[in-house]
Amino acid sequence: MNQGHSKTFLFAGGGTGGHVSPGLALGEELRGQCDRCRLVWVGNPDKIESRVTPSAGFEFVPYRSRGIIRGRRPKQLLANLGTLLALISAVPLMRAIRILDREKPSAVIGTGGYVSLMPGIAAWIRRIPLFLLEQNARPGLATRILSRFARAVFTTAEESKRCFSQSAAQKIECLGNPVRKDFVKGVQGTQRTNERTVFVLGGSQGARSLNEAIWEWVETGLPAGVAVLHQTGEQGIGRSRELATINPAYRCFAYDPDIAAMMAGADLVVSRAGANALVEILCLKKPSILIPYPWAADNHQEANARWAEQNGAARLLLDKELMGGTLAGMIESLFQDSENLEKMSTAAGSLARPDAGKAIAKRILAEIG
């Protein structure tokens, strides 16, 4: 209910951090620009959105939804058949409509993921303004479907326009990806040392192949004057701690949501190429080596990495090329070319849209009046 509030903004999406973090950042901006606004998040109760949105000031509304599972195994095909039958029955859509009727939002904002699909269609049926956030250079399926019903689709890369229908492409506004304020403002008082520091970002779940490539480099011996700070994920922390005891230049941790200060102190970032990690790297003007997760939906991480590389901000290294010293060789080569590192840093800063959240919030508020 929106009693006592000037406007209610209903966000729908989730499943991964990539579909949640931009919405949290945009919600913060909307709250700053709109007096007494109310923020609601519709998502799966057993996914990341259910855990992180309440602490960010959102009212969480559970909405169970299943997506299409990629693969042709009997179990996967059976699960997909159940999903399609549920969609045909219109039950998920009716549940979404009931949520909108109860919450009475001024606008619905889809952040991606299959859970955003039915609330987005319900917004169109109820004639509630629908806006979409698309973080990746290659848009997801839910965004492409909902773009037909949206007032505007906010993207990060101009190249994304090619992936939409002709009518939907006219709604594309390349304003960037909303990012947390600690990345926008920069990090004050970051201590720098004489060492060259590599920050390795594997994500909250880690990245096994990336971890193994870093371990291989540490075991063969880090070059003098090079330090590594490695986010391993929970599954990789045991092996990393063993290596840290014998090499003081190697430090590790499983996961820390507040990584801005760590990244700000690095000379080079090695990371997967998810949209949120990439925009944070760009906002801090860090040169990077991007290793796309090879099984990401629609191979969107490789599209993100190629976009950054083509614009001079990063080097792309495919997951299958990680081992055998290839990653270590690329890092050491970049550290021997300070001029190139500086050019990459400048290019990263030119791609960053630190005011994306503010611009998108202003655009939405202007549209709904």
Tens digit of each residue's pLDDT (9 = 90 or more) over 317-338: 999 998 778 999 999 999 999 9
Cα 212 to Cα 218: distance, rounded to the nearest angstrom: 10
Give the CATH fold of the 8-179+354-368 domain: Rossmann fold (3.40.50)
Rounded (5°) CA angle 140-141-143? 70
Residues 6+ apart with CB under 8 A from 93: 87, 118, 121, 122, 125
The whole-number pLDDT of residue 278 equals 93
The whole-number pLDDT of residue 189 equals 46
| Rama region for 225: left / alpha / beta (φ>0; ψ in -120 to 50; rest) | left
Q: Do domains 8-179+354-368 and 183-351 have the same CATH topology?
A: yes
Give the CATH fold of the 183-351 domain: Rossmann fold (3.40.50)
Q: List, in sequence order, every residue forming a beta bridge with 134; answer none if it has no partner.
A: 155
**Secondary structure E strands in 18-83:** 38-43, 59-62
H or E stretch covering 325: none
Cα 18 to Cα 64: distance, rounded to the nearest angstrom: 19
H or E stretch covering 200: strand 196-201
Query: Would you state the structure tokens that stand for residue 165, as one six-digit string?
Result: 């229908």
Q: What is the largest CA-CA distance in the chain?
A: 64
Query: Would you state the structure tokens that stand for residue 145, as one six-digit string?
Result: 């479907």
Determine how many CB atoms are found less than 10 A away from the CB of residue 100.
20
Cα 1 to Cα 95: distance, rounded to the nearest angstrom: 16
Question: Does the global pTM surpass 0.85?
Answer: no
So where are the chain's domains? Answer: 8-179+354-368, 183-351
pLDDT digits (tens, 9 = 90+) for 226-252: 999 999 988 888 999 999 999 999 999
**Average pLDDT for runs of 10 along the chain of length 369:** 76 90 95 93 94 95 74 55 54 93 98 94 97 91 93 91 89 93 63 80 75 93 94 88 94 82 92 91 95 86 94 96 89 95 96 94 95
Give the chain's end-to-end CA distance (angstroms, integer). Answer: 20
The whole-number pLDDT of residue 310 equals 96
Rounded (5°) CA angle 19-98-28? 35
The whole-number pLDDT of residue 118 equals 93
